[in-house]
Chain A
Amino acid sequence: MISDITLGQFFPGNSPLHRLDPRCKIILSVLFIVAIFIADTPIAFAFLFLVTLFLIIISRISAKVIFKGIKPIIFVVVFTSLLNVFLTVGKGAPLVEFYFIKIYTEGIVRAIFMSLRVILLIIGTSMFLTYTTSPITLTDGIESLLSPLKVIKLPVHAFAMMMSIALRFIPTLVEETEKIMNAQKSRGADFSSGGIIKRAKALIPILVPLFVSSFKRADELAVAMECRCYRGDINRTKLVKLEYKIRDFIWIFVFALILSATILTKFLPDMITRASEVLDILFYHI
């Protein structure tokens, strides 16, 4: 069924994550993404994994939903992991050697890191953006973050309005597509058999009515908006005012720390060697 497609699915709730300012959440996502791409040690990944786990727990979104979210990409992850495992050539002796297949430790490590990166990336960003932020607040957040660009005459408001209208009409259009499909099925249309050309042709009776009605909708909506005194963002107020609260700053601060910590893990081995050197010298003197 088409209606199973969930686009940017939002789960209403009142968790600490839900209550954050959308701009804060966008910033947090960016920090988190940077951290994920910087991480390249097991400690760093273990650390970020714990952070993600923590986010899932406080968001109170069920693990089932989260698993469903990453299901579509599992195949790609597994496939690229395998490529990494088999194609990476390491420095030392191969771990496994079987005819022409040589598997090195580096390959396995790389595969694990890459898979973790993709999975954490998806869970982390959807935790902040799609699952806990309603599309409309997200749009408000983007508009507000981009508003400095208005100075150079970029139509930030129009862009945000377009996005929110698109979000408003996705369910309507999905419903409409189903209705049209049923109507054409009732006239004997067949969408599921025949070669690729026949199938593509079979879409015409769906696409034409869908376009016609979408244009009609767009037209009527534009008129209705004008009649409700819409004229862009001239002298416009907003019902939802985005306000940073102390908690938003705390979160950003914590995530900045997390990012720094991740960066630090990069130098951790070096630091440990240096520290032990210093300690050695100190102890030697004593």
Chain B
Amino acid sequence: MEQKDIFIEVKGLCFTYNDDAGNNSPDASPALCNLDLKVARGEYVSILGHNGSGKSTLAKLLSMILIPTSGEIYIDGHLVSSPDISDDEIYEVRKKIGMVFQNPDNQLVATVVEEDVAFGPENLGIEREEMKKRITEALEMVGMTEYRRHAPHKLSGGQKQRVAIAGIIAMLPDCIIFDESTAMLDPLGRRDVIEIMERLNKERGITVLNITHYMDEAARANRVVVINDGEKVLDGTPKEVFSHVDELHSMGLEAPQGKELIHALNKCGIKVSDDALSEEECVEAIYSALIGD
């Protein structure tokens, strides 16, 4: 196999939140502990974990909002985790990694959709003609073209989130981290955001990290990394990861229902092949188990 182009590399990453006085209190449990992770350029990875598992801390470290307590982070080959990193270097990293957060309301800055999408490119000093082109493209990508002149506060949650994504796309990042970006959306809004995520990955080769606690979302990625109590516990294809149903349960997580069903059947002595994930595959596996009997 050829050497993959590693975009994000995390080595022995630890992070402990400070107490109120700003000290690293010795007994505070670390939010992240000795985490290793490599993400290749163009990958589509889900980071799965329950609330408070440390997955959002990872996002904040990767976008350089937090500085690691120990360990190293390399982005596109550059060490970015040193405490004395310059503002210019941080700026360079942020050009490459875009962040989409949970609450769509709290990431829109302008009173008109297109001006909000322009915010990132403006900060990057992009020329006006180029900027207009990027806004048009970005809004098209997220299906919000007709709302170009609308006020963001009148849009639905899902639409706001799509505008927020357009604002990131217009900066042409190599990688986008979605930090629980679907948690506050209704099912239709969630579906739209997920579809956009996947199109960005497939059509533009953007590296996508989707941090989530929704199993069905995580299952759609090419790779799932499960974080529990600040540690990486599972890492593999969705099929592999969601075969560990008991382990997921013990971490307060679940597997997609098809997987749960197959697991339950196997437990009570009905042998069903575990090599299934999608509904179709699960139906197939159960069907052959039942007919095979």
Contacts and interface: CB of A to CB of B under 8 A. Distances in A.
Contacts of A217: 103, 105-106
B124 to A, nearest CB: 6
A236 B118 CA distance: 11
Contact of A136 (B112, B128, B132): B112
B100 to A, nearest CB: 9
Sorting the interface of chain A by its residue count into under 10, 10 to 19, 20 to 34 or 35 or more gives 20 to 34
A217 to B, nearest CB: 5
Sorting the interface of chain B by its residue count into under 10, 10 to 19, 20 to 34 or 35 or more gives 35 or more
Contact of B132 (A168, A228, A230, A239): A239
Given A221-B109, A237-B126, A238-B122, A227 B95 contact: no
B94 A136 contact: no
| Chain A interface helix/strand/loop/mixed | helix
B110 A164 contact: yes
B293 interface: no
Interface in A146-189: 164-165, 167-168, 171-172, 175
Contacts of B168: 228
B120 A229 contact: yes
Given A217-B105, A224-B101, A168 B123 contact: no
Contacts of B103: 217, 220
A134 B108 CA distance: 17
A168 B98 contact: no
Which one of A167, A172, A229 has the greatest number of beta carbons of chain B within 10 Å?
A229
Given A239-B118, A239-B128, A227 B111 contact: no
B10 to A, nearest CB: 18
A231 B119 CA distance: 11
Given A172-B153, A237-B122, A239-B118, A164 B111 contact: yes
10 closest cross-chain pairs (CB), A and B: A239-B118, A224-B107, A220-B106, A229-B123, A235-B125, A228-B120, A227-B99, A171-B153, A217-B106, A230-B123
30 contacts: A12-B149, A134-B112, A136-B111, A136-B112, A220-B101, A220-B103, A224-B99, A224-B101, A224-B106, A227-B65, A228-B94, A228-B119, A228-B120, A228-B167, A228-B168, A229-B120, A229-B123, A231-B87, A236-B122, A236-B123, A237-B121, A237-B122, A237-B125, A239-B114, A239-B118, A239-B121, A239-B128, A239-B131, A239-B132, A241-B128
Given A168-B153, A224-B101, 12 more contacts: A12-B149, A134-B111, A165-B109, A168-B111, A175-B153, A217-B105, A227-B98, A228-B94, A228-B123, A228-B171, A229-B95, A236-B125
Interface of B: 63, 65, 87, 91, 94-95, 98-99, 101, 103, 105-112, 114-115, 118-128, 131-132, 135, 149, 151-153, 167-168, 171
Interface of A: 12, 134-136, 164-165, 167-168, 171-172, 175, 216-217, 220-221, 223-231, 235-241
